[in-house]
Amino acid sequence: MSFRNLSCLFAILLLALFLVPTAAAHGRTPRLEISAELMNPGGVLDIRGVEFDYEELVTLYMERQGVVVSLGEINADLEGIFIHTIVLPADLPAGDYSIRGVTEHHDVLSPIFSVQGSAILEGGGQGERDEDDGLLAPMPTYPPGFVPGGVSQPAVQTAPEQAPVSRSNWVLLTLSVLLVFAVFFVFRFRAAKKV
């Protein structure tokens, strides 16, 4: 193999290293989950964000056919999760809505939920609901796969989840090893040629 062939091989390997995509820190796509698909005006909606970056600031909006209502900002926790509860306005028009979460790197839409029917009012229609209303209670949220009322299992401590090594990381590792061998053989070939 001539020096010219080796230098071409080296150039190809070096080019391949730059074409390998970089791995994302989180590796998963953020999503928004909502507590209900059908609601009445004045109802309580839980918004759960998962797979966001750690402690990432998320700005929430409620949208319907081009109309956008700001719901404020919330920080994801150390696991990239947040839960935000909103009370829909009692005079909210019927229709299909979605929640949008916007961060520096992401723009995420929730599933669509429908608002229809009469407004939920405190005390059988005596006014809007507030935090002192005895009917308001926190809505339980459960992790995926958990069945409420099912048999309780003891908590098992597991090691923190580590992202699997992606194919692009294996390609990068393989190309790096090949690059080291190519450089080694080029220098060895040059040293053998000089002797």
Using one digit for the tens of pLDDT, what is the confidence trace for 95-122?
999 999 999 989 999 999 999 988 877 5
Predicted local distance difference test score (pLDDT) of residue 152 = 41
Predicted local distance difference test score (pLDDT) of residue 188 = 80
Calpha distance 52→43 (Å, rounded): 26
Domains of the chain by residue range: 3-24+167-194, 31-115
Residue type, 185: F
Contact call for residues 183 and 177 (beta carbons, < 8 A): no
Predicted local distance difference test score (pLDDT) of residue 158 = 43
| Segment 19-41, tens digit of pLDDT | 655 444 455 899 999 999 999 99
Residue 33 three-state SS: strand
Residue 146 three-state SS: coil
Contact call for residues 99 and 72 (beta carbons, < 8 A): no
User: Torsion angle of alpha carbons 111, 115, 119, 120, nearest 10°?
Assistant: -30
Calpha distance 193→178 (Å, rounded): 22
Predicted local distance difference test score (pLDDT) of residue 99 = 95
Residue 33's Cβ-count burial label (10 Å; 0-12, 13-18, 19+) is middle
| Segment 49-94, tens digit of pLDDT | 999 998 999 999 999 987 888 999 999 999 999 999 999 888 888 9
pTM score > 0.75 for this model? no
CATH superfamily name and code, 31-115: Macroglobulin (MG2) domain (2.60.40.1930)
Residue 180 three-state SS: helix
Calpha distance 26→23 (Å, rounded): 9
Contacts of residue 10, defined as CB under 8 A and 6 or more positions apart, other chains included, come to: 179, 182, 183, 186
Mean pLDDT of the region 11-18: 64
Q: What is the mean pLDDT of the chain?
A: 75
| Segment 128-168, tens digit of pLDDT | 555 555 555 555 555 555 555 544 444 444 444 444 445 56
Calpha distance 178→12 (Å, rounded): 11
Predicted local distance difference test score (pLDDT) of residue 48 = 95
Contacts of residue 171, defined as CB under 8 A and 6 or more positions apart, other chains included, come to: 20
